[in-house]
Amino acid sequence: MTEVVIVSGARTAIGNFGGTLKDVPVVQLGAIVLKETLKKVDLRPVATQELVQFEPDGIKGAGMIELEKDGYDYDDSAQAIQIDEVIMGNVVGAGQGQNVARQAMIRAGISKETPAFTVNKVCASGMKAVSLATQAIRMGEAEVVLAGGMENMSMIPYALPAARWGARMNNTDLVDLMIMDGLFEIFYGYHMGITAENIAERYGISRQEQDELGAL
């Protein structure tokens, strides 16, 4: 089985809720770390002929599209490398557009031929993305995978569910999707922080053990 190594890494900025990053789309944060991860080890993404041959006839051989050019600012002297896949964890994609992993990838100047998908496993989304990347490499399905996570809770919108077919008479609810889709334990009706306390108590997990896991 193929050995897997992590050769580079970067992390999104840590901000306050409603702080200076409140208007920065999550895909922009993701694009920054994807790009920086490559630049830190002097790599630049390219689409190999193997990938390009599968392009539709209408764009075959046309090279980069404008979206790719906008995000591509790599040093030409850097080592060219084909990214086989991009996997990014994201919990609340509401209002962010389709497949935020692919959006971040394109904004990072990575070739459009590269597949990308988004993982939603709540708090473990980014970790699961890395795990899936590891599996793909071990199974021989990929050689180079960019994997991680991205989130901007400050940009999560509200929803008006009744607006689709009309609220008719009387009041209707405005739903905070940060709570509903991200922080609420949907089966029993309380915040996930309470779930964490319940699990720690039930299985005897100490704060020290939690901190040690968090430091890995």
Q: What angle do CA 142, 126, 195 make, to 5 degrees?
A: 145
Structural domain includes residue 175: yes
- Are 35 and 150 contacting, i.e. CB atoms less than 8 angstroms apart? no
Could you give the number of structural domains in the chain?
A: 2
- Convert the pLDDT of each residue in 128-141 to its tens digit: 999 999 999 999 99
**Binning pLDDT at 50, 70 and 90, where does residue 72 land?**
very high
Residue 207 pLDDT class (50, 70, 90 cuts)? very high
Q: Confirm if 116 and 98 have CB atoms less than 8 A apart.
A: no
Looking at the structure, tell me whether residues 30 and 93 fall in a common domain.
Answer: yes
Could you tell me the CATH number of the domain that includes residue 78? 3.40.47.10
Q: Are 86 and 57 a contacting pair, CB within 8 Å?
A: no
CA–CA gap between residue 66 and residue 71 (Å, rounded): 9
**Residue at 92 is within a domain:** yes
Predicted structure pTM score: 0.91
Rounded to an integer, the average pLDDT of 27-44 is 98
pLDDT digits (tens, 9 = 90+) for 85-99: 999 999 999 999 999
Q: Residue 197 half-sphere exposure, CB side, CA atoms within 13 Å?
A: 6
Separation of alpha carbons 5 and 135, rounded Å: 12
Q: Does residue 71 form part of some domain? A: yes
Same domain, 144 and 187: no
Q: Give the structural domain span for 68.
A: 26-155
Q: Which tens digits make up the pLDDT trace of 24-33? A: 999 999 999 9
Between 93 and 54, the higher pLDDT residue: 93
- Percent of the chain exceeding pLDDT 70 equals 98
Same-domain status, 164 and 129 = no
